[in-house]
């Protein structure tokens, strides 16, 4: 029997391991491969945009080293804080990143804080850097979600829509399976399947659309910060409804943290857009000759 099944699309996958291959006895997971691929492609994309706009690509190579370290710490810290009921009882697991537990929003917060500090110390424009990096961020998020697919996690509740996905019940974490899902188990030849929303797919496809919009906007932007504000708005708008479908939400009480943060970010991104647009009436967009001057002064 297939391990994964999209019954309404007629797609069956007989076997899907979270391990891609093994090196010297150490398993290399697909999740890590997708994150690594996202980083590599994101760096190349940012370097290309830096060259196109007359910036110094070395600025971004230097920044990304710091940003990756802080983003990983932030992603783990966010997850641990909002899963403290578990980690307070198992403190030895706090640093066990290979067992899972990285939150995208924690990584974003870490990356943004790093960019703010870095741009200040290096006397660069934060908004120019943010506009340059925004498509790289959403590209990495789009690819990273496919790691959830291989891990058989980050899915939603029961559905019978076109994209309904079935996992073998024995292959998923019991804590992710809600009573609603259990009430709609599908048994085929003695094998129990859960049938759920493939939220990883929803978010990946949403991120792809945002990514395309940002690439177009980079070449048509009217002011610094426009691409960054659009990224926050687009990503949060998708996340606020997709997060509501998931069964593995990080919560404070009964409030899903990432969903609430997404709602706040939608409002904040609109305010940010207006602020940057008004600022542009005084300070023109930093591109072409202005960016070249910045490069020479580095």
| Residue numbers belonging to the annotated binding site | 145
Neighbours of 16 (CB within 10 A): 15
Total residue count of the chain as it appears in this document: 298
Alpha-carbon span 62 to 121, nearest angstrom = 13
DSSP alpha helix (H) spans, the chain: 30-52, 57-81, 84-87, 104-121, 126-151, 179-183, 199-218, 226-242, 257-280, 289-297
**At a CB cut-off of 8 Å and minimum separation 6, what does 267 contact?**
none
Q: Which two tokens stand for residue 7?
A: 């019954």
Residue 75: C-alpha distances to residues 14, 108, 124, 271 (Å): 32, 8, 25, 25
**Smallest Cα–Cα separation from 275: which of 221, 231, 224?**
224
Tell me the CA end-to-end span of the chain in Å, nearest whole number: 60
User: Structure tokens of 80?
Assistant: 């641990």
């Amino acid at each position: 029997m297939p391990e994964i099944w999209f019954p309404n699309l007629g797609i069956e996958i007989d076997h899907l391991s979270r391990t891609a291959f093994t090196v010297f006895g150490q398993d290399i997971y697909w999740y890590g491969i997708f994150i690594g691929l996202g980083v590599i492609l994101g760096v190349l994309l940012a370097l290309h945009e830096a060259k196109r706009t007359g910036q110094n690509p070395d600025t971004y190579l230097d920044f990304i080293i710091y940003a990756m370290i802080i983003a990983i710490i932030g992603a783990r810290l966010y997850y641990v804080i909002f899963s403290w009921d578990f980690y307070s009882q198992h403190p030895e697991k706090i640093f066990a990143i290979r067992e899972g537990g990285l939150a995208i929003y924690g990584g974003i917060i870490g990356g943004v804080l790093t960019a703010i500090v870095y741009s200040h110390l290096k006397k660069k424009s934060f908004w120019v850097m943010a506009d340059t990096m925004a498509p790289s961020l959403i590209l990495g998020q789009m690819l990273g979600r496919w790691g959830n697919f291989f891990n058989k996690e980050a899915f939603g509740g029961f559905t019978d829509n076109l994209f309904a996905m079935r996992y073998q019940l024995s292959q998923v974490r019991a804590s992710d399976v809600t009573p609603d899902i259990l009430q709609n188990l599908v048994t085929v030849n003695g094998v129990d399947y859960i049938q759920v929303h493939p939220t990883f797919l929803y978010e990946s496809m949403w991120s792809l659309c945002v990514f395309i919009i940002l690439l177009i906007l980079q070449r048509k932007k009217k002011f610094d910060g426009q691409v960054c504000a659009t990224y926050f708005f687009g990503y949060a708008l998708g996340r606020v409804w997709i997060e509501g479908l998931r069964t593995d939400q990080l919560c404070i009480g009964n409030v899903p943290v990432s969903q609430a943060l997404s709602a706040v970010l939608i409002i904040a991104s609109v305010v940010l857009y207006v602020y940057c647009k008004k600022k542009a009436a005084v300070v023109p967009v930093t591109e072409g000759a202005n960016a070249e001057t910045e490069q020479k002064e580095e």
